[in-house]
Amino acid sequence: MDLYTIAFYLFAVITLVSASIVVFSKNIIYSAFALLFAFFGVAGLYVLLMADFIAVTQLMIYVGGILVLVLFGVMLTTRVINVDMRTGTIQTLPAVLIVAALAGTLVGVFWTTDWRIMPAFPGFEKTAPRIGELLLTSYLLPFEIASVVLLVALVGAAMIARREKKAS
């Protein structure tokens, strides 16, 4: 096994274990911190795939932004810690069926497909200049739409979460 493969399995294990903790832990604080490691694991995999720009963005947006928001949410709604995690019996069966069907299809189809048709990993020189160039040429419209999505999120979040003003 070469170093690359070892690194891949290391990050894969980190991601999978943390993901399981996020979903199955009884303590929401553990879940939130496990999410941090899951994000780190995925960022490591991005580095292995030579996606430098995306790896850095992953750390800045997911770890620096979204995770901090989630932690704020956890702390502002403190009563939810140690929540009872039994689920109603009505939804267990459909949930199991859905998950089994989904897992079977996805894993089955990836397992059986013959991947040798794919070319060997060509990789990239540097991705950031290429992405930056595309964002301002071919993908200018999606870039603008993304900015509008962020604006709507700003307006909406401020509207919903702000305190009620005195009867106006």
1 binds another protein (CB under 8 A): no
Q: Which of residues 120-159 bind another protein (CB under 8 A)?
A: 121-124, 127, 130-131, 134-142, 145-146, 148-159
Based on the shown chain and the rule CB under 8 A, indicate whether residue 40 belongs to the binding site for another protein. no
Task: Please select the residue that binds another protein; options are 37, 53, 56, 63, rule is CB under 8 A.
Answer: 53
- Amino acid (1-letter code) at residue 124: F
Structure tokens belonging to residue 38: 């899951």
Task: Say whether residue 88 binds another protein (CB under 8 A).
Answer: yes
Q: Which of 10, 39, 56, 63 binds another protein (CB under 8 A)?
A: 39
Shortest Å, Cβ 71 to another protein = 10
Q: Residues of 42-70 as b/e, b for ≥16 C-beta within 10 angstroms?
A: bbbbbeeeebebbbebbeeebeeeebeeb
| Sequence letter at residue 100 | A
Are 22 and 38 contacting, i.e. CB atoms less than 8 angstroms apart?
yes
